[in-house]
Each structure stands twice: as structure tokens, then as C-alpha cells.
């Protein structure tokens, strides 16, 4: 099945895809360019951000939470104004990467060294006004997503070709040590952004392979979707019935000859999943509240 281009604007590093149901609009970042892009019923928009940002959560119809350099910001989508929600407890010269709201009222955001120093990466969780580091010793932390019925969080270290699973308690805080969920080193696959569907299956973009792989909660590969750019980066479910898969991509690191062979690099793709007797059902991302009461969805 051929992938369709959802948006032709080319991103050096497209990431952080997020479907906003109330607006029927997809948001995503071009991280190095400090751009927040979107496309919905009203067409395409582009917002220039005051700082580098890489992940978002829904705060309301007209507001997003941004994981950004220095901490968390709110963004008003109508006025473009921003404000500080919380700063990281330390700076460390790190930049944000992957992130996502969890279904227990928190927001997870990863950070890494700009030069990808081995072991400098980490993941923080913010909930009810408090930041806490939940993983460390990573290099390129990615694939943050959640399975509420099973009490799980997932994350990856791209350079180690490994996806981890972390058991969490009733408030979404890690309990015990994370364990290996997928070891992709034999295939050489680079796990990037990921999301779970309504059945708890993990859909993960494989950077360099041009695919999004779907694994069941036991880790078995059950489906692979191919796209027209090698460096796919982050999937998101959306559409009126959450049966549509959106996928960002990147042209980062590609020389002129490589870009000529990969003409769709950096574009964002779309695919209807419930076709040819193959079904999949996504789900809405949680809506966060800043008043300390957690999520509302």
C-alpha cells in the first residue's frame, strides 16, 4: 500500500506528531528550525517558536503544552503567546527530544546532548507541579508512550537499538527497574517515535528503514507499514475515528545526492489503516490540566 503525502513542507527534523481532536488538526515540529507546523480543515499553518521545542500535549482547544529548551511552556494557538509552566531542575546543556502526555495526568519529556554524547540522555516526568527524573544513562531517548490498562510506559534508546518497558504505579510513577521490550540490534533498526493503539499495540517509527512497525503487548511483530521516506520519525493516530496514521520524517544528515534519492524526506505522511481487511484503532491523547488535578481525558 502506497503512502500519501499529508503535508509537503520539508522538515530537517520532523517530530512530535500530535492530533488535536477538538480542532481536527495535526501538529508537529521541525525541531532545529523552531517551527510548529499544523494542518487541518482550515488548511496549513506555521508558527515560529521563541525557543527550540520538540514535543507537545493538549491543554485545551486553543492551548498546547510544549516540551522545550529550559522546561515546559504553554502556547496559545490563537495569539501565539507563551508562558513558563515549569523549568527543569538543572540545565546541563541538554536539549529536549521525544515526549508525550501520560494517561495518569503527567508529561514525560526526554533530553539529550546536542552532540549525542553517549549516556548523557535522560527522561523527566512532570506531574502536579513537580519534576522527577525517571530514566538516565541514555543517548538518544525516544519512543515515549503508554499503555494504561497494563500500567506500562515505553521508551527507547535509539543508538542501542532497544525499546524498554517500565511498570508504573497508580499515579504513573515508575516502580521497579525498566526491562527490555524489544532488542532490534540484530536487524540494525533504529527505534524513534512511538505510540500505542486502543489494543495496547506499540507502533514505532524505524529511522532509516522507512517503516512503522506494530508490535503486540508481548513484543511480537504483527504489522509493518512502509512510507516514502527513509528517515521516518514519529507516528500519531488521528482522524474522526482514529483510524488514520500520520508519520513525520526528516532530511537531517542527508547529503545532496542522498536527498535526490529520497525526494520525500522531511515530509509528513498519512495512511488510512482500516483497508484491505486490516484494521487498527488508535485513541485520543490525554488532555492535561495545569491546576494540579491531572488529566481530563
What is the number of residues in the chain? 297
DSSP 259-291: HHH-TTTT-EEEEE-SBTTB-----PPPBB-SS
pLDDT 10s digits, 147-197: 999 999 999 999 999 999 999 999 999 999 999 999 999 999 999 999 999
- The pLDDT score that the predictor gives to residue 297 is 41
Yes or no: say if 194 and 279 are a contact pair by the CB < 8 Å rule.
no
CB atoms within 10 A of CB 21: 16
pLDDT score of 276: 61
Considering the candidates 102, 192, 197, 243, report the single residue annotated as catalytic. 192
Percentage of residues in the chain having pLDDT higher than 90: 92
Q: Is the Cα dihedral 162, 167, 173, 175 positive or negative?
A: negative
Domains of the chain, residue spans: 4-272
Tell me if 116 sits within 8 A of 110, measured CB to CB: no
DSSP 219-238: S-EEEEEE-S-S-EEEEEEE
Cβ atoms of residues 17 and 268 within 8 Å:
yes
Active site residue 192: yes
pLDDT for position 2: 55
Reported CATH class of domain 4-272: mainly beta
Q: What is the pTM of this model?
A: 0.95
In this predicted model, what pLDDT tens digit does every residue of 15-62 receive, in sequence order? 999 999 999 999 999 999 999 999 998 899 999 999 999 999 999 999
205-220 pLDDT, tens digit per residue, is 999 999 999 999 999 9
pLDDT higher than 60, residue 278: yes
Buried b (16+ CB within 10 A) or exposed e, 129-143: eebeebbeebbbbbb
Amino acid at each position: 500500500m502506497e503512502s500519501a503525502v499529508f503535508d509537503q513542507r520539508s522538515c530537517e527534523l520532523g517530530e512530535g506528531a500530535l492530533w488535536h481532536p477538538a480542532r481536527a488538526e495535526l501538529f508537529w515540529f521541525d525541531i532545529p528550525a523552531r517551527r510548529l507546523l499544523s494542518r487541518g480543515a482550515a488548511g496549513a499553518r506555521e508558527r515560529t517558536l521563541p525557543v527550540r521545542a520538540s514535543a507537545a500535549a493538549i491543554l485545551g482547544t486553543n492551548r498546547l503544552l510544549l516540551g522545550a529548551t529550559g522546561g515546559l511552556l504553554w502556547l496559545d494557538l490563537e495569539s501565539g503567546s507563551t508562558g513558563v509552566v515549569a523549568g527543569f531542575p538543572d540545565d546541563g546543556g541538554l536539549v529536549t527530544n521525544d515526549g508525550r502526555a501520560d494517561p495518569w495526568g503527567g508529561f514525560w519529556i526526554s533530553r539529550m546532548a546536542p552532540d549525542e554524547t553517549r549516556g548523557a540522555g535522560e527522561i523527566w516526568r512532570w506531574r502536579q507541579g513537580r519534576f522527577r527524573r525517571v530514566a538516565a544513562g541514555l543517548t538518544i531517548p525516544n519512543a515515549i508512550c503508554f499503555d494504561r490498562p497494563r500500567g506500562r510506559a515505553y521508551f527507547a534508546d535509539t543508538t542501542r537499538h532497544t525499546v524498554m518497558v517500565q511498570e508504573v504505579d497508580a499515579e504513573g510513577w515508575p516502580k521497579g527497574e525498566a526491562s527490555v521490550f524489544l532488542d532490534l540490534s540484530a536487524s540494525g533498526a533504529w527505534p524513534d517515535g512511538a505510540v500505542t493503539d486502543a489494543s495496547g499495540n506499540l507502533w514505532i517509527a524505524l529511522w532509516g528503514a522507512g517503516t512503522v512497525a506494530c508490535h503486540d503487548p508481548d513484543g511480537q511483530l504483527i504489522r509493518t507499514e512502509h512510507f516514502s521516506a527513509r528517515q521516518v520519525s514519529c507516528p500519531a493516530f488521528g482522524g474522526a475515528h482514529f483510524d488514520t496514521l500520520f508519520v513525520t520524517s526528516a532530511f537531517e544528515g542527508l547529503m545532496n545526492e542522498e536527498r535526490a534519492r529520497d525526494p520525500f524526506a522531511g515530509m509528513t505522511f498519512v495512511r488510512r489503516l482500516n483497508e484491505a481487511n486490516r484494521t487498527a484503532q488508535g485513541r485520543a491523547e490525554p488532555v492535561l490540566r495545569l491546576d494540579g488535578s491531572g488529566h481530563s481525558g
